[in-house]
Structures are given as structure tokens and as C-alpha cells.
């Protein structure tokens, strides 16, 4: 499946901790956009879409939540609860985020600007897009 859990280097000293994120170094793409998600209701389910042409790294800088990742064949649940880790999500992965703690803050780095036309928000369409992809090879 096109995802990876990245572990970042922490610069820690007696004052606290600092983590630096740099494009094409510890973030595996050019960074065009950063957004963050916070104040999510604890019973909310966000996401429920895929991206045919977007790479992202999600960092849970505070609190915790769960990511369900689905490539059409395999489903994987990942708990994010550390600012020292980043979840890389590549192309063609259906994602659903849930079980947000009240203090959860997700910071997301993306390799493209926001484009609503690039979202697939219907699961059946997501499955069809995967078989269309295969036909193109």
C-alpha cells in the first residue's frame, strides 16, 4: 500500500523539542501547501475520499486520531499520536479519519495546491478509478 510512517529527528535540549520538516529531505516531495485541522468533534469522521494525484504527509502535532487507509484491496488502521511521526499518504488511497481527541491538531503538507476537482469522494468511483488505472498500463 502506498503509505509510510516516517519518524522525524528531534532536536531536543533543556528548553524542549524542535522538529524541522524540509522538502525532498525528510518530506519526500516538493511542499506546495500546508493546512491544519483542529477543533474536530470527537465523533466526527473526516476524509472519506481519495486523491489520484496528490502526495501528503500528515503530522499529529497534538492529541491523537485514527486513520483508516484503503487501497481497494487492503485496509490498514493507523493511530497518530506523536509529533515525531509523519504519515505519508501517496496516490489512490481512500482515507477516513476518526476518534479525534478534543485537543487533536493535524498538520498536513501536500505536494499540490488545493483542487476540489482532484478529489474522489464516492467509494464506488474510487474502486472504478483503480481498475481504470490498471487498464491504462
For position 58 contacting ligand T46 by CB under 6 A, the verdict is: yes
Active site residue 49: yes
Q: Which stretch binds ligand T46 (CB under 6 A): 9-17, 30-38, 69-77, 126-134?
A: 30-38
Choose which of 7, 23, 82, 114 interacts with ligand T46 (CB under 6 A): 114
- Can you point out the beta strands (E) in the chain? 3-7, 11-13, 16-18, 33-38, 46-49, 56-62, 65-70, 75-80, 85-89, 94-98, 105-110
Q: How far is the CB of 8 from ligand T46 (least distance, A)?
A: 18
For position 37 contacting ligand T46 by CB under 6 A, the verdict is: yes
- Count of residues engaged in binding ligand T46, rule: CB under 6 A: 10
Distance (Å, rounded) from C-alpha 93 to C-alpha 76?
Answer: 11
For position 36 contacting ligand T46 by CB under 6 A, the verdict is: no
Residue linked to cell 492529541: 63
Q: Which stretch binds ligand T46 (CB under 6 A): 14-22, 31-39, 72-80, 125-133?
A: 31-39
Choose which of 27, 55, 56, 65 interacts with ligand T46 (CB under 6 A): 56
Contact between 59 and 107 under an 8 Å Cβ cutoff? The reply is yes
Selecting among 49, 62, 66, 127, the annotated active-site residue is 49
- Please state, in angstroms and as integers, the Cα–Cα distance from residue 17 to each residue in 5, 11, 14, 84, 127, following that order: 20, 6, 8, 10, 42
The residues binding ligand T46 (CB under 6 A) are 33, 35, 37, 46-47, 56, 58, 95, 108, 114
Amino acid at each position: 500500500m502506498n503509505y509510510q510512517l516516517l519518524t522525524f529527528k528531534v532536536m531536543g535540549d533543556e528548553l524542549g523539542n524542535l522538529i524541522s520538516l524540509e522538502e525532498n529531505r525528510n518530506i519526500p516531495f516538493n511542499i506546495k501547501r500546508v493546512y491544519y485541522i483542529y477543533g474536530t468533534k470527537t465523533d466526527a469522521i473526516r476524509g472519506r475520499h481519495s486523491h489520484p494525484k496528490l502526495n501528503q504527509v500528515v503530522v499529529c502535532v497534538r492529541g491523537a486520531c485514527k486513520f483508516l487507509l484503503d487501497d481497494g484491496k487492503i485496509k490498514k488502521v493507523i493511530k497518530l499520536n506523536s509529533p515525531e511521526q509523519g504519515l505519508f499518504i501517496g496516490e489512490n488511497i481512500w482515507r477516513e479519519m476518526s476518534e479525534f481527541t478534543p485537543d487533536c491538531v493535524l498538520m498536513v503538507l501536500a505536494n499540490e495546491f488545493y483542487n476540489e476537482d482532484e478529489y474522489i469522494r464516492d467509494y464506488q468511483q474510487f474502486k472504478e478509478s483503480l481498475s481504470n488505472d490498471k487498464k491504462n498500463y
